[in-house]
Structure 1
Amino acid sequence: MDSTAELLSISAFARRVGLTPSALRFYDDCRVLPPASVDGTTGYRYYTPDQEERAALLRGLRAAGVPLAEVAVVLDGPGSEARTVLERHRERVRERTRAADAAIESVLRSLDGARAPAEVTLGGVELASAARQVVPAAGADERYPAVGCVLIEIEDGEIRFVATDRYRLSLRTLRPLAVKGPPGRLLLAAEVLAGLGGWAARAAEVTLEVHPDAARAHGLGEVRELPVSRERFPGYREMLSALTPPAHRAVVDRAELAGAVERCGPARAVVLALAGDRLSVSPVDGLSRAVVLTAVRQDAGSARVGFDPAVLLSALESSVGPDVLLEIATPAEPVVVRSADQGGFTTLVMPVALGPKEGALS
């Protein structure tokens, strides 16, 4: 590379290739699209124009629903093997392409009339999706009313929805169609956001108008007044910054993992055990019903973590896209469940304690 003028920031590169910065960070973590350079001081990622072709192919494969394990084969494997992979998934690709076409058509319709009379305008389906994903993580304990709310933040060209019940934390990040005015912050009761999501799902786009003491939603030719909570939401940024760097990362098929957790039945806990390129899922009372899944990993070693199956299943069902990235630090610290498709979605799930022999690797 002759000069740093050829480097593109993650935001500039994202605009050129049609991916979100959240997705680019996800693909860097998965080692399928690492940046050309990372600033050693700031950690900022930079890309070069010659990476656009790989990014475009990656975007196309992901839009078609090809799992990351197979994406790596298509991008880096022999041509004959790549063809075999794609032919094997032809029917699923066609079905997912129809779904992608429908989603793109919905977004294009919203873009045609997008205006920003207030602070942030986004697709109604996206707002409904964000509400569906984060509301289950809100708390129901009347002693802690703040955790019964969802925090909505508008800044840096993004809108973030955050909910936590102190045992898990869900964060959904979206790129709005339009943003106007200063940063905004809004706290809504979880049931209010759930109702707003159900209403917004019927709208091509919704504009949220946020004032210091009030908020409104514009859509479907009407205006909805939103009751704003005065509670103080927990410092979720501090929670995220305090996370121990992960010792293990594993990409797994989301639907297969959810199905394996469901098959464990009403167990006290479900055990996820990593070893090599496999992820074993079993009830805590033994491995007789263990389900072994393929995992894409860049690190070595093994790990064993227990979860409340209902909490883990809720996190998986709330995610989007065919794959999830599990980031495990220690068996006693929150496990990060990340998804990048259709906008960034991250859930922190607290593990449960396991006995020394419970779910041991075979």
Structure 2
Amino acid sequence: MDDNDGLMSIGAFARRVGLAPSALRFYDDCDVLRPASVDDATGYRYYSPGQEARAVLVRRLREAGMPLTDATVVLDGTRAEARAVLEAHARRAREAAESAQSAIEEVLRDLPGGARRATARLGGAELASAVRQVAPAVATGPAREEFPALGCVLIELDRQEVRLVATDRYRLAVRALRPSSAEGDPCRLLVGVSELADLASWALREPDISIEVDQQGGRLHGAGATRDLPAVDATFPDYRMVLDGLPATRHRIIADRAALRAATAAAGHDGPLTLRTDEQQLTLVSRGAPTATPAAVCTGPPVRIAFDPGVLLQALDSGVGPDVLLEISSPIEPVVVRSADQGSFTSLVMPVHDTPADE
């Protein structure tokens, strides 16, 4: 019970602040929340009203899953230290939640017999454009024969986006579309690129279409007509792991997409094409000789990086908008190629070996 000095017993204080008495004893032992007074004869702990704010903060931090070592910084550190710890913990919590959600969705997709279904509505021309953008990244030839999934486009539906993904292991193209409406569980479907290209031609003439995916496969619904999305039973590579594993960007090149494309095409396909940045200037080098200096904004330290011209051309052709952005981490890591002002389409291009020559 409360004593005559205004102190509260551990039980009363526990009810006041929403903590169990056992938790209060633990925080006393850890020197996080010491009682205001301890009876020498009985060992009973007593707490003052002035300790309520600290106790409630302790409870809130622990409810958020914060370790005691970090909680003590928030409790007793400077304002800047507390903010840094809180922001770092929030970031870790978001990453853990996203990882758990992704894992659970993956398990749900693999569960047999579940009545999973998703629908999304978007413009027919928008879908056709997305197919055009990702299709060049689909594998052909021996790679496609060895890995049938690489000859397909992955279609993913959730409540926020419809994503189309394609890769041949040297390129990766991801286009995210914002549906006008969406409902159901996260679903995915693999569709052969030829079949999807035919469906895209049909969708181009439809003002609006609805994509439906369930356990039986997928369908496109237009104005009075329905077309099947023939599913391919194969395992698509984990493209999210590739994107999440990209190193930090150290160099950025922003250029006129048409001008860079013209310069790349003019360099020809006889050997790799090297992009070199120095003193805020972009130079294209082919067969050891500079061939063009298209206008560009270059940030970061100087870099030289080589590409297969045909692969780079396809990435530039698939882009949208007047400008193109190249995000480079190193001359041997995948390069992100996307619109400078619109991130709904992302293409990854692998560099090739560059042998410097006298220029």
The aligned length equals 247
Correspondence for 1:257: 260
Call closer, same or farther: CA 1:127–1:341 in 2, change over 3 Å. farther
Q: Given residue 328 of structure 2, which amino acid in structure 1 is its aligned partner?
A: I
Post-superposition Cα deviations, 1:16-65, rounded to whole Å, max 9, x if no partner, equal: xxxxxxxxxxxxxxxxxxxxxxx665399xxxxxxxxxxxxxxxxxxxxx
Correspondence for 1:233: 236
The structure having more radius of gyration, on CA atoms, is: 2
Q: How does 1:1-362 map to 2 (within 5 A)?
A: 41-42=90-91, 119-140=119-140, 141-283=144-286, 285-288=287-290, 290-299=291-300, 301-339=301-339, 344-357=344-357
* SS of alignment partner, residue 216 of structure 1: strand
Identity %: 47
- Structure 1 unaligned residues grouped into runs of 5+: 1-38, 45-116
Distance 1:218 1:273 in 2: 48
Correspondence for 2:41: none
Normalised to the residue count of structure 2, the TM-score between the two structures is 0.65
Q: Given residue 244 of structure 1, which amino acid in structure 2 is its aligned partner?
A: P
TM-superposed CA distance for 1:241, in Å, is 1.1
Q: Given residue 243 of structure 1, which amino acid in structure 2 is its aligned partner?
A: L
8 Å CA contact 2:118, 2:185 repeated in 1? no
Q: In angstroms, what is the RMSD of aligned CA positions?
A: 2.2
Distance 2:159 2:177 in 1: 11
Normalised to the residue count of structure 1, the TM-score between the two structures is 0.65
Distance 1:297 1:268 in 2: 24
Distance 2:242 2:342 in 1: 24
Distance 2:136 2:288 in 1: 29
Q: Given residue 123 of structure 1, which amino acid in structure 2 is its aligned partner?
A: G
* SS of alignment partner, residue 163 of structure 2: strand
Q: Given residue 315 of structure 2, which amino acid in structure 1 is its aligned partner?
A: A
Post-superposition Cα deviations, 1:52-110, rounded to whole Å, max 9, x if no partner, equal: xxxxxxxxxxxxxxxxxxxxxxxxxxxxxxxxxxxxxxxxxxxxxxxxxxxxxxxxxxx
Q: Which has the higher contact order (CA 8 A, sep 6+)?
A: 1
8 Å CA contact 1:272, 1:279 repeated in 2? yes
Post-superposition Cα deviations, 1:119-164, rounded to whole Å, max 9, x if no partner, equal: 1011011100000000110112201101111111112511111000
- Structure 2 unaligned residues grouped into runs of 5+: 1-86, 94-116
Q: Given residue 249 of structure 1, which amino acid in structure 2 is its aligned partner?
A: R
8 Å CA contact 1:118, 1:207 repeated in 2? no
Q: Given residue 264 of structure 1, which amino acid in structure 2 is its aligned partner?
A: A
TM-superposed CA distance for 1:230, in Å, is 1.0
Call closer, same or farther: CA 1:343–1:204 in 2, change over 3 Å. farther
Name segments (4+ residues, structure 1) moved above 6 Å. Answer: none
8 Å CA contact 1:277, 1:294 repeated in 2? no
* SS of alignment partner, residue 208 of structure 1: strand
Distance 1:309 1:173 in 2: 26
8 Å CA contact 1:135, 1:193 repeated in 2? no
Distance 2:118 2:336 in 1: 34
Call closer, same or farther: CA 1:170–1:160 in 2, change over 3 Å. same
Call closer, same or farther: CA 1:251–1:145 in 2, change over 3 Å. same
Distance 2:196 2:159 in 1: 22
8 Å CA contact 2:325, 2:340 repeated in 1? no
TM-superposed CA distance for 1:181, in Å, is 1.4
8 Å CA contact 2:163, 2:174 repeated in 1? yes
